[in-house]
Chains A and B, each alone.
Chain A
Amino acid sequence: MEGVGRVAAGELANAFCFIGAGGHHAGRNFFGGYCCFNDVVIAVRHARRAGRLRRVAILDTDAHHGDGTRDLVADDPEVLHVCICGSDYTSPDGTKVDRAAPDPWTLAGSPDRAYLDLAQETFPPRAERFSPDLAIWYFGFDGHRGDYGDNGLTAEAFLGLADMMMDVAGRVCGGKLIVVLGGGSLTTLATALIPPVIARLAGDSPSKPRSSGT
């Protein structure tokens, strides 16, 4: 809540938010998947009530569909919600979009490259047209190779997403970006992936990522 408010108000350039429980599987009347309350939607509505923002563009790259978030923003045309998960869907007004992540078991090339290409063609053009006040990246690393949502990804994909989100936020909303930690279960991956993602937020130049193991 506070991070979204302070970034929206321009008091912070951007923020990374750790979580104690997940949020994107929590809808108005339901919760599950180890999610309790929808932190992102609550924060957006709180900031709106304070007059700090109206339009928000959300990219969800947790391996599983953000069904709770979609339930809460389905009728809100001032939220662009793009989810890279397991199915394809586009709402009539184009503000709610799902794209199926590439299947690493049938790909001929790199899962990282295929995933980044899909993210690049799905989110930035829509965010540019949408012109949000703030961008939010729901960063789950469960799609990393060896974790429970294994999409065959490595650190290269997640750091590429971080670079993409910094770039698009810089172009469409003055760099106002919130990164909210999502799924992922392995300590080794959390330790390998989270600090370099935060380093991107802090302005470190993109470079070849170190191995995240597994």
Chain B
Amino acid sequence: MGTERSRGTTGIYYHPSFSRRSYLTTGRRLADFPGALATLLQQPHVRLFESPSADDDLIRLAHDPAMIPRVEADPL
């Protein structure tokens, strides 16, 4: 990921798992990604980053700790 200063850069945050399962679909709404971004990613000021995971400490910044296992147990 690096820490370069790139004032004019557009970042795209994406993870391969998002194209397997995402939101209200059974997993296919992002089936064409990241391939659908190929032309954009040829531009030097557009960069694709893999979304890092978030640990429970971050989740607790907004949510009751008791909610975490409830989410984990939900089949969604």
Chain A residues within 8 Å of B, Cβ to Cβ? 1-3, 6-7, 10-22, 26, 28-31, 34, 36-38, 41-42, 45-46, 49, 72, 142, 148, 183-187, 190-191, 194-195, 198-199, 201-203
Contact = CB atoms under 8 A, between A and B. Distances in A.
Contact of A195 (B1, B3, B36): B36
Contact of B45 (A17, A194, A202): A202
Interface residues of B, number: 50
Contact of B10 (A20, A187, A201): A201
B45 to A, nearest CB: 6
A20 B59 CA distance: 15
Contacts, number: 153
A43 to B, nearest CB: 9
A195 B74 CA distance: 32
B32 A31 contact: no
A132 B69 CA distance: 34
B13 A18 contact: yes
B32 A191 contact: yes
B5 A11 contact: yes
B29 to A, nearest CB: 5
